[in-house]
Amino acid sequence: MGIEIERKYLINYEKWQKIEKPLGRTYRQGYLLTDPKKTIRVRLTETNGYLTIKGLSVGATRSEFEYEIPISDAVELLDNFSISELSKIRYKISFENKVWEIDEFLGDNAGLIIAEIELKREDEHFNCPDWIDKEVTGDEKYYNSNLTITPYKYWNL
C-alpha cells in the first residue's frame, strides 16, 4: 500500500516574497470524487498527467496511490469528468536536506500559499525555514479537494 506522511503550513507572505525562488510549475487539478474518507484526483502539469487516489487522513498519514497517465487522458478527465477543480503554481525548495513543496493558488484561491513537507515517519524531526508560519496539518479547509468546494476567496477571514 502507498502511504503519504505530509505536514502542511501557512507561510509568512512578507518573508516568502523576499526569497529567491526556483521556476514554479503550473498545476491544473480536478476531482472525480471528494469524499471525507477518500478522493480521486486528476492532475495536469505542462509535461505530465496523473491519477491519484488518497484515503482518509489520520494525523499526517494517509494511503496514496499515484499513477502517471497520458496528458490527453488527463485533459479529457478534467474537461469531462471532474466535479471540481483548482489551479496553482508549485515551487520546490530544498532546506536542510528536505524538499518543501509550496503551492501558490490561483483563481478563487488566489492569496493562499501553503507549504508541504513529506516525511518518512510522523515523528521525524526537521527544521522549518524562516518563511514557514502556522501549521495547518489536519485542518480540512486547507485540503486541496475542499478548496475546490469552498475556495479561499469565500472564507470569512
What's residue 156's pLDDT? 79
31 part of the active site: yes
CATH number for the domain that contains residue 136: 2.40.320.10
Q: Where in the sequence is the domain holding 131, given as residue range(s)?
A: 3-154
pLDDT confidence of residue 96: 95
Report percent pLDDT > 90 for the chain. Answer: 90
31-52 confidence digits (pLDDT tens): 999 998 999 999 999 999 999 9
Q: Give the pLDDT of residue 133.
A: 95
Q: What's the mean pLDDT when you consider all of the chain? A: 95
Question: Poorest-confidence range of 1-5, 105-109, 133-137?
Answer: 1-5
Q: What is the percent of the chain with per-residue pLDDT over 70, rounded to a whole number?
A: 99
**pLDDT the model gives residue 57:** 84
Total structural domains within the chain? 1
68 neighbors 46 (Cβ within 8 angstroms): no
pLDDT at 58: 85
The confidence score (pLDDT) of residue 1 equals: 60
What is the model's pLDDT at position 36? 84
Find the catalytic residue in 9, 27, 31, 152.
Answer: 31
Q: Mind listing the pLDDT tens digit for each residue in 72-125? A: 999 999 999 999 999 999 999 999 999 999 999 999 999 999 999 999 999 999
* pLDDT value, residue 28: 98
